[in-house]
A and B are shown apart, each in its own frame.
Chain A
Amino acid sequence: MIEAQGLTKDYGDKRAVDGLTFTVKPGIVTGFLGPNGSGKSTTMRLILELDAPTAGDVTVNGKHYRDHPAPLHEVGALLEARSVHTGRSAYNHLLAMAQTHGIPKSRVDVLIDMVGLHDVSKKRAGQFSLGMGQRLGIATALLGDPSTVLLDEPVNGLDPEGILWVRHLLKGLAAEGRTVFVSSHLMSEMALTADHLIVIGRGRLIADTSTEDFVQQASGNVVRVRSPQATRLAELLAGPEVTVTPLDGDGLLDVKGLKAEQIGDLAAGNGIALHELTPQQASLEDAFMELTREDVEFKALEPEAVA
């Protein structure tokens, strides 16, 4: 369980994280989405108290991260930036991390095997590929059998097999009742993995919702209708909460604000033939673009506002 309350972080004049309030619950995978530079990595660093917040507060399992007597047992973290001495072997890196908590050597061996680094565990980490580095990072994160797992872009640099493996891993961790908080720039990956989404843009919270609702909300319940009597249908559908957009001259309409059943019933009741009636589901990618659009526009306008 991660609880952030008005979390804010300034770097000089730049506000990287701006009043974030959210809760990451155990037992599900929570995705953390945002365009590049939106403050995802900073938020993760604030959770781990690598950086101190300018304002606000964040706790893990009810305490500040620093106040836990066995921090690695509370939170296992994979940070986006590499956090390994390039001259040290994977085995010795994990051993040094384990020793801070009195975790036995056998645990290090188990994790090295689990992430598939057995053959290269004595090689210097500086020689690792990006994918191998990610596996080592994941092994580091799981070392202390943590109740909360924090992963910043875990599938970066992984091959398709590795991506599938991480997806299974995240779901497995959540199924075991752990809190799983994972950032990714791959929206499609989040659609497959995350149950819940926290979306930020320019450091501010944009959405905190289930993945299902997120897509539905952003797509705005658009229904595509094709009818030979499109003009008459459009007149019938019109209402204060409804927008009808003709798409071409061929009787194709996008209707926003009504469910497919309502449109179908209305057409049937008035003897209007329908050739197509399709609820449109926006992809997560579209939904994300839709939600962060204002943010991007704001960014483009900013120089004028400053001047």
Chain B
Amino acid sequence: MSAVPTIPPLPHVGKVTQARVALSEWTKLRSVRSTRWSFFAAVVFAIGISALACTVVAHHYPQMDPREKANFDALGVSLAGVQLAQLAIGVLGVLVITAEYSTGMIRASMTAVPKRLPVLWGKAMVFGGVTAALMIPAALIAFFVGQAILSRHGINIAFTHPGVPRAVIGAGLYLVVVGLFALGLGAIVRNTAGGIALFAGIMFVIPPLMNVLPQSWNNAASPYLPLAAGESIMSISSGNHLAPWVGLGLFVLYALAAIAIAAVLLLRRDT
């Protein structure tokens, strides 16, 4: 520190715009370790677990009984890693906002952008965009690596098979929506542990709990839960699930609802 500090004047100060806030959010996202680790984990899970599943299944295939062989889902096995990747993306989605509350950074963010909402939109845009840029290619790689492994036993499925491009790219899109849903939940709860618990509870705990309902109720309601609705984009077989784009659309609505509630609370609550 010099003895006589003087502050150099700033020739020009710009207004706060949504694009500038998004750039700021990009800087925030890329400059903490948890982001890099979580995205790295998500990509490794998506590709690695899928390759592992395909290897195990391919090895086991000759011993399968005919009924198992008939039900064999080559697409599903090569997207198995998405199941684990969604956990990393979901946790990161919560952290993107709750880490600001736990560290106090939120006060700096809201002082720079006192209208507040641009920060939430900026986070959603940047986090959603980065997730799409990483996870759509990861899903494609997982699919092609997996099919290469399965093709040695002639049990692979072609990318040109009806519904497959939609399912593979849809897996990447599904992960984007997972991230945005988690971001919305995190922004509502404003606490890391609470946000992750809420996310995991809605996604992974409620579906098995549905089994306590009478069978007909369970069958009627289960496809509309966030996880089942979202995952229908990754399926090319018929079953108790919504049509692919209808399902993903419903999951998008869940995410939008979470973010909308978060937006209202962000404006109303003290920081």
Q: Which residues of A contact B (CB under 8 A)?
A: 45, 48-52, 65-66, 68-73, 75, 77, 79, 81-89, 92-93, 95-97, 99-103, 107, 110, 114-116, 135, 140, 142, 144-145, 161-162, 165, 168-169, 172-173, 176
Contact = CB atoms under 8 A, between A and B. Distances in A.
Given A65-B114, A165-B5, A168-B4, A107 B27 contact: no
A115 B1 contact: yes
Determine chain B's interface SS by DSSP, over half rule: loop
Given A70-B14, A96-B28, A101-B15, A48 B114 contact: yes
- Top 5 A-B pairs ranked by shortest CB distance? A102-B14, A92-B31, A145-B10, A99-B24, A83-B107
A153 B15 CA distance: 29
B4 A89 contact: no
Given A82-B104, A114-B2, A145-B9, A71 B16 contact: yes
Contacts of A85: 28, 32, 99-100, 103, 105
Given A99-B23, A101-B15, A135-B1, A88 B108 contact: no
B100 to A, nearest CB: 7
B111 interface: yes
A142 B7 contact: yes
B115 interface: yes
B4 A84 contact: no
B1 A145 contact: no
A72 B24 CA distance: 14
Interface in B6-31: 6-10, 13-17, 20-21, 23-25, 27-28, 31
Interface in B226-253: none
B20 A168 contact: no
Contacts of B17: 102
Contacts of B34: 87
A103 B10 contact: yes
B65 interface: no
B36 to A, nearest CB: 11
B271 interface: yes
B17 to A, nearest CB: 8
Contacts of B6: 172
Contacts of B67: none
A50 B111 contact: yes
B5 A99 contact: no
A140 B34 CA distance: 24
A149 B108 CA distance: 15
B57 interface: no
Nearest to B30: A92
Nearest to B35: A87
B108 A145 contact: no
18 contacts: A48-B111, A70-B14, A71-B111, A71-B113, A71-B114, A82-B104, A84-B105, A84-B108, A87-B32, A96-B27, A97-B24, A100-B21, A102-B13, A145-B7, A145-B13, A161-B1, A165-B2, A168-B3
B161 interface: no
A101 B14 contact: yes
Contacts of A84: 103-105, 108
Contact of A100 (B1, B3, B20): B20
Interface-centre pick from B1, B14, B103, B270 (highest chain A CB count, 10 A): B1
A102 B21 CA distance: 9
A180 B15 CA distance: 23
Contacts of B24: 96-97, 99-100
Given A70-B15, A87-B32, A50 B103 contact: no
Nearest to B21: A100
Contacts of B115: 66
A49 B114 contact: yes
Contacts of B14: 70, 101-103
Contact of B10 (A49, A82, A144, A165): A144
Contacts of A169: 5
B115 to A, nearest CB: 6
Given A51-B271, A70-B16, A97 B9 contact: no
B107 A81 contact: yes
A169 B107 CA distance: 24
B261 interface: no
A99 B25 CA distance: 9
A285 to B, nearest CB: 27
Given A48-B110, A50-B271, A100-B113, 17 more contacts: A73-B13, A75-B111, A79-B107, A79-B111, A83-B107, A87-B99, A88-B31, A92-B27, A97-B24, A99-B27, A101-B112, A102-B15, A114-B5, A145-B10, A161-B1, A169-B5, A172-B6
